[in-house]
A and B are shown apart, each in its own frame.
Chain A
C-alpha cells in the first residue's frame, strides 16, 4: 500500500511501489488527464508537479514520493499560475490535438510560479522538454508571455 497526496487529497493505493506515478494516476485512480507519451522522460506529456516542481511522472516511482504534494492537470487551475496559463491557452487558441497540452500547461505553470516574467531563454529552458507533434510552439511561447503579462 502506498499513500500519496494528490491534489489536496490523501489517496491510499494498493500497488507495487516501483510503479511510476503516471500509471497509478491513469490506471488505478482513473485520472486520465496526465498523458503517456514516451515512458522515458523524453516528451513531457506526463508532467505533474511535486511540491510545485515539474516532474515526469512516467519515471517517478510512487514509492519514492513520500509526503510530497502531487498536483496534476485536473487541479492546476486552482493555482494562480495554472489558472493564468489555462486562460492564456484559451485566449490564444494554443491547442490542436491537445494530447501534449496537459504536460505543456504543467511545465508552463511551474515556470511562471518560479519566474513570473520569463524571457525567451527561460521559456526555452523550461519548455524544451515538452514535445508537441502538432507544432503549437509558436503559440505556447506567446501564451506564456501573455499569462506573464496578466498580473
Chain B
C-alpha cells in the first residue's frame, strides 16, 4: 500500500502510554446531572482532577469515528489528546441525534459531515469558558490567555492552570455566544494521521463487543425463526432438546423458537434437536425467478420524477441513442460479529447489552414491545463487530427482549451464522434502465429509471416524498457529468417476501454501478477513451475532474497490459466525497477473475484523520469487490438458499490485490468516507473486465460462465 498520508506526529512511545495509561473507553454513562463539575454541553465533561471525558454521539463499528470525533472536539478544546476518556452516549435523541437525520443513528457516512460544526463549537465553547475562568482568577484579560494540552496559559506572567482546577469556576459562567472556531491552519490534531484510540484493546482481546457482555448469572440462547419469511410456528416437539446436557429451557413464541442453555453450544445442540413444524404461509412459493420477473415488470412503469434538467425526451431524440439495463442482487451484511443482544427483562424494567447503530430506537422499540416506558429500558452500548447497515435495525434487540420475557435472569441471545444470513434485512434487488444520446462525442440526453425497494419509506418516512426515496436516487439525481437534457425517475417496488434494509454504500451503491457502467458503454460507443470521455463532461466539477486525472496518472492509464487484462475507471461524487478509482483485472479463458491492482484517489475535503480515510477506502473497496465477485442471496421456496461463509463468500487475503489510496489535500468541509469504497469498486471492476474481454457485465455478481463465453450476458 502507498498513501499520501503523512507519518504520525505522535510518537510510538506516546501512543502506547496514551492507550495504556491515558485513554479509556467506557461503555456506561453517568447521567449529566451527577456529572463532573464542568459539563458545558452533552459532549464534554471535565472533572476536578482534570480528566476530560468526551461523549461519543456516533457509534464505533470500525470506521474510526471515536478517534475522529475525539480529534475534532479535542482540537477546539485544546485538550490533552493522550489523556482522554471516551464514553458511549446514552440513548437520547434530544442530545445525540445525528443532525442530518434527526435520529440517533450512525450511518450514511454522515458522522463527521453532520457533527463537524456542532462538535467544533462544543469544544470551542468549553475552551472559552475555561479561559474566562482563568482570566477571572488571575485578574487578566481573557484575550491574553492561550490554551494547550488541557491547560490555560498566561504567557506574560508565566502562569498556568489545568482545566481541572478551573472546572468549578468555569461551570458558573455563562457561555459566550458565537465563539470563534480555529482557523484550519492552526489545527494541531485535525489532518494528522493519528493512531486510533480503540485499537490497543482490539489486539489483545480486551475490547468488548455486544456479544462479549457477561452480566452475572447470564444464560445463553440461540434462536430459529421460520425459514420461510413471515412463517409462524405450527408445532414444537422439544422432548429431545430438553434431554440435551446443559439445555435449561425452550421458549416458543408465535414466530420463533429459542433454546436457553448453560452455553451457546448447549443451546445450539438443543435447537438442532427440536422438531419444529412451521406454518409457512403464502411466501413459501416465492423464488428468485419470480422476484426478477416482478421487478422487471415494475420497471416498465412510469416512475416518480426525481430530477429533470432541460427536456430529456427531446435530448434523447437528438443524437445516437443507446439503452442498457443493469441489475443488482440481494445481499446479506454478514457482519463478523453475528447478531446478538443480551436482555434482562423483569416485570417493570429491561436491561439490554448490545452494539447498535440506533441506540434510542432500540430503547423505544423494545419499550413498546414490552409495554414499558422508554426510561425503564436501559441500553448498554458496546463496540460493534461490523455494522454496514445491519445494526440500523432493532430486530435483534426486540427478539432478544421477547425471549428474555420468558427467562428468569439475563439471557444472551446469539444468532448462529446461518440464522444471521437467513434472517437479514437484505440490500434490495435493483433494476436500472438507462438511455442516452450521443452528439459530437458528448451526452445530449439522459434518462435513468431506478426500480427497487424504498428502505427510506420504512426507516425514515418523512424522507420519502412524492414517491421518491431520496436514498434510492442518491448519486443519480446529482450525477457529476454536464448533460443538457436529463431525467431521473424512481419506481418503488418492494420485493415479495424478502425484507430489505440499508447496506454499506446504500443508494449510491446501485446508482454508481449503473451510471459508471453506462458511461463506459457510451465512451466505447463514441469511440472515446473512457477517461477522456468523462473529463470532457466534468468542467463543472473541478474536484472530480482533478481526481480522475490523478487516478489515470497514478494507475498508468493507457499503458500496455498483458492479454485478457484491462483497466476500468469509475468516478463518483457520493457522500460529499469526490473519488476516482481504477481497477486492473484479468479474466482467464475459464472466466476466472484476478484483480491485479486498485488505485483510488479521493478528495474528501478536510481529512480529519487521513490514515483512517485511507483505511476506509482500502476496506470499502474490498467490501465492494466482495459483492461484485461473490455476493448474491437467492431465494427458493420463500427461503434464503445461502447459509454460511462457504456459500456466501467473502473475499479472502489471497484474492486481494494491491490497493493504493491517495488522499488529496483539501480545505473544503469534510465529506463522508465509510460507504464510498463499496460504491466505487464494482463499476471499476466491470469496466476493467470489459476492457479485458470485450464482454459487458450488466448484472452482478460477476458470472464466470458469461466471461468465459459459455453463456449469454
A interface residues with partner B (beta carbon < 8 Å)? 15-16, 19-20, 23-24, 26-28, 30-40, 42-43, 45, 72-74, 77, 86, 89-91, 93, 95-102, 105, 123-124, 127-142
Contacts and interface: CB of A to CB of B under 8 A. Distances in A.
Contacts of A38: 417, 644-645
A31 B388 CA distance: 27
A36 B204 contact: no
Given A40-B646, A42-B644, A133-B335, A101 B63 contact: no
Nearest to A144: B653
B683 interface: no
B417 A37 contact: yes
Contact of A37 (B12, B62, B336): B336
Contact of B205 (A23, A73, A89, A138): A73
Contact of B653 (A37, A40, A124, A133): A124
A115 to B, nearest CB: 15
A90 B203 contact: yes
Contact of B645 (A24, A96, A131, A135): A131
Interface in B31-45: none
Contacts of B203: 86, 89-90, 95, 98, 101, 105
A17 to B, nearest CB: 10
Given A101-B202, A131-B652, 20 more contacts: A27-B220, A28-B262, A34-B205, A37-B337, A37-B417, A38-B645, A39-B644, A43-B650, A72-B205, A74-B204, A90-B15, A90-B203, A95-B199, A97-B387, A99-B337, A99-B386, A133-B335, A134-B336, A134-B623, A135-B626
A35 to B, nearest CB: 7
B566 interface: no
Nearest to B619: A135
Interface of B: 1, 12, 15-16, 61-64, 195-196, 198-200, 202-209, 211-212, 214, 220, 245-246, 262-266, 268, 334-338, 383-388, 414, 416-417, 611, 615-616, 618-623, 626, 644-646, 650-654, 656, 658-659, 677
Contacts of A140: 653
B61 A97 contact: yes
Nearest to A91: B12
Given A91-B12, A95-B203, A96-B615, A135 B623 contact: yes
A42 B265 contact: no
A37 B205 contact: no
B162 to A, nearest CB: 29
Contact of B202 (A26, A95, A138): A95
A124 to B, nearest CB: 4
B654 A124 contact: yes
Contacts of B417: 37-40
B204 A137 contact: no
B656 A137 contact: yes
A36 B677 CA distance: 27
A96 B336 contact: no
Given A32-B208, A39-B268, A98 B651 contact: no
A32 B212 contact: yes
Given A90-B195, A133-B386, A37 B263 contact: no
A40 B62 contact: no
Given A96-B619, A139-B1, A43 B204 contact: no
B386 A77 contact: no
B383 A98 contact: yes
Contacts of A23: 263-265
6 contacts: A27-B264, A37-B337, A93-B615, A97-B335, A135-B626, A141-B653
A64 B198 CA distance: 36
Given A131-B652, A138-B659, A93 B195 contact: yes
A137 B334 CA distance: 17
Nearest to B209: A99
B1 A96 contact: no
Contact of A95 (B196, B263, B334, B388): B196
Nearest to A28: B263
Nearest to B618: A138
Contacts of B264: 23, 26-27, 36
A56 B15 CA distance: 32
B493 to A, nearest CB: 29
Q: Which of B199, B205, B383, B644 has the most CB of A within 10 A?
A: B205
B644 A40 contact: yes
Contacts of A102: 205
Nearest to B420: A38
A101 B207 CA distance: 11
Contacts of A35: 211, 336-337, 385
B645 A42 contact: yes
B656 A100 contact: no
Given A133-B650, A140-B653, A97 B383 contact: yes
Contacts of B385: 35, 97-100
A34 B245 CA distance: 23
B211 A98 contact: no
A68 to B, nearest CB: 20
A61 to B, nearest CB: 10
Contacts of B208: 32
Q: Which of B336, B658, B677 has the most CB of A within 10 A?
A: B336
Contacts of B61: 97
A24 B264 CA distance: 9
